Amino acid sequence: MEKTLVILKPCTLQRGLVGEITKRFECKGLRLAGMKMVRLTDEILSEHYSHLSTKPFFQRVKDSMMTAPVVVCCFEGVDAIQVVRTLAGPTNGRLAAPGTIRGDFSMSFQENIIHASDSSETAKAELNRFFKPDELFEYKQATFEYLYACDEY
Tell me the torsion sign for CA atoms 116, 22, 84, 89.
Answer: negative
Contact 93, 12 (CB under 8 A): no
The number of CA neighbours under 13 Å toward the Cβ of 140 is 3
Helices (H), the chain: 10-14, 18-28, 42-48, 58-65, 80-88, 101-105, 120-130
- CA angle centred on 81, ends 135 and 54, rounded to 5°: 90
Q: How far apart are CA 122 and CA 117, in angstroms?
A: 6
Query: Collapsing DSSP states into helix, strand and coil, what is residue 114?
Result: strand
115 classed as catalytic: yes
Catalytic residue among 7, 115, 126, 131: 115
Positions annotated as catalytic residues are 115
